C-alpha cells in the first residue's frame, strides 16, 4: 500500500520557538494533503487541507499565521508551528490522498509535540 | 456541515465473539464515502473498511463487515471472531464536502474496543 512518512515522530521545543513537521508521500504523488490535530483520548480534528503550489485551506478556528502549511511538491507538505506555547502541545497527524475525490487517505505515523 | 456520531465511548468483547460498533452521520449530500479506521496504541491510523454510498451492498473485509443503512444514515461495523489484536480505538469517518468547499474526512469521537481473553 501507499506509504506516508511523517517526521519527526516526537519533538520537544521551548516556548516561543518554532517547530517544523514534515509529511512525505514516499511511493505516490499526493493530490491533496491534510493536517489533523488529536488531543489525548479525543478524535482527529482537521486543521487544514493543502494542494501542491497553492495556499492551504484552513478550518474555522485554526490560526493560519500560527500553523503555517507549505505544500511545495506533490510529495511533501510541511506544518510549522510558530511561536509555540504549551497549549500547542498535541499529536499532529498528516494524511495524503490521490485524485479529486480523496476517497482513500493514507496516514503518517504522527508527531507528538511537547512545548515546555 | 456533516456530523459523525459514535454513541459508544467504550465497548468490550470476549475473544472469538462478535461485536458491533455503531455510527450515525448527518449529511445533505447523496454521493459520499464512509470509512472505519482503527487506531492502536501506536496511534497509526489503519483503514479497516470503506463503503461507497451509491453501493447498496454492504462492504466486507474478512472478519469485518458493515451494515450500511443510507436512509437511516447509519453505518455500523461488525467484527466477527474478535482477536486480541483488534483492541484499539475505532473511528467512523465520513468523506464529503466541508464548509470550506474542500472534500475531507470528518471523524466521529471514537469507540475504544477492549478484547477480553
Mean residue pLDDT of chain A comes to 93
- Please determine, for residue A87, whether its predicted confidence score (pLDDT) is greater than 80: yes
Structure-block grid coordinates of residue A77: 507538505
**Among the partner residues A45, A102, A107, nearest to B45 by beta-carbon distance:** A107
Range with lowest mean pLDDT among A5-9, A43-47, A108-112, B100-104: B100-104
Tell me how far apart the 2 most distant CA atoms of chain B are, in Å.
46
Among residues A3, A111, A18, which one has the least CA distance to residue A66?
A18
Output the pLDDT for position A101. 67
- Please determine, for residue A100, whether its predicted confidence score (pLDDT) is greater than 70: no
Output the pLDDT for position B2. 81
Cα-flanking dihedrals φ and ψ of residue B22, to 5°?
Answer: -95, 150
Burial of A48 (0-12, 13-18, 19+ CB in 10 A): buried
Q: Which residues of B touch A93 (CB under 8 A)?
A: 43, 45
- Please determine, for residue A114, whether its predicted confidence score (pLDDT) is greater than 90: yes
Rounded Cα gap, residues A89 and A113, in angstroms: 5
Per-residue confidence of chain B (117 residues) as pLDDT tens digits? 789 999 999 999 999 999 999 999 999 998 899 999 999 999 999 999 999 999 989 999 999 999 999 999 999 999 999 999 999 999 999 998 888 888 899 999 999 999 999
CB atoms inside a 10 Å sphere around CB B55: 11
What is the Rg, in whole angstroms, of the alpha carbon atoms belonging to chain A? 13
Q: Which residues of B touch A46 (CB under 8 A)?
A: 98, 104-106
What is the Rg, in whole angstroms, of the alpha carbon atoms belonging to chain B? 14
Residues sharing a CB contact under 8 Å with residue A62, sequence separation 6 or more, in sequence order:
A47, A48
CA distances in angstroms from A70 to A29, B12, B20, B34, listed in the order given: 16, 42, 40, 28
CB A5 within 8 A of CB A24: yes
Among residues A108, A112, A102, A111, which one has the least CA distance to residue A50?
A102
Selected for mutation to probe chain A from B2, B7, B97, B105 (highest A CB count within 10 Å) is: B105
Average pLDDT over residues A97-104: 75
Return the SS3 of B86: helix
Query: Which is more confidently placed, A54 or A110?
Result: A110
- Please determine, for residue A66, whether its predicted confidence score (pLDDT) is greater than 80: yes
Q: Search chain A and give the residue with CA nearest B51.
A: A103
pLDDT band at A52 (very low <50, low <70, confident <90, very high): confident
Amino acid at each position: 500500500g501507499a506509504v506516508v512518512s511523517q517526521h519527526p515522530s516526537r519533538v520537544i521545543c521551548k516556548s516561543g520557538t518554532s517547530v517544523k513537521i514534515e509529511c512525505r508521500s514516499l511511493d505516490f504523488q499526493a493530490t491533496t494533503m491534510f493536517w489533523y490535530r488529536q488531543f489525548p483520548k479525543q478524535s482527529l480534528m482537521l486543521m487544514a487541507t493543502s494542494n501542491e503550489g497553492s495556499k492551504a485551506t484552513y478550518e474555522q478556528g485554526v490560526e493560519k499565521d500560527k500553523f503555517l502549511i507549505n505544500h511545495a511538491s506533490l510529495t511533501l507538505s510541511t506544518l510549522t508551528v510558530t511561536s509555540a506555547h504549551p497549549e500547542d502541545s498535541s499529536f499532529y497527524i498528516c494524511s495524503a490522498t490521490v485524485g479529486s475525490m480523496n476517497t482513500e487517505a493514507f496516514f503518517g505515523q504522527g508527531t507528538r509535540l511537547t512545548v515546555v | 456541515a456533516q456530523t459523525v456520531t459514535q454513541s459508544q465511548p467504550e465497548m468490550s468483547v470476549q475473544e472469538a465473539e462478535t461485536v458491533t460498533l455503531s455510527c450515525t452521520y448527518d449529511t445533505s449530500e447523496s454521493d459520499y464515502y464512509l470509512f472505519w479506521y482503527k487506531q492502536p496504541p501506536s496511534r497509526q491510523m489503519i483503514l479497516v473498511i470503506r463503503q461507497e454510498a451509491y453501493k447498496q451492498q454492504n462492504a466486507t473485509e474478512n472478519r469485518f463487515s458493515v451494515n450500511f443503512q443510507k436512509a437511516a444514515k447509519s453505518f455500523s461495523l461488525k467484527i466477527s471472531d474478535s482477536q486480541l489484536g483488534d483492541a484499539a480505538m475505532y473511528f467512523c469517518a465520513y468523506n464529503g464536502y466541508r464548509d470550506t468547499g474542500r472534500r475531507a474526512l470528518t471523524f466521529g469521537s471514537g469507540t475504544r474496543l477492549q478484547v477480553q481473553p
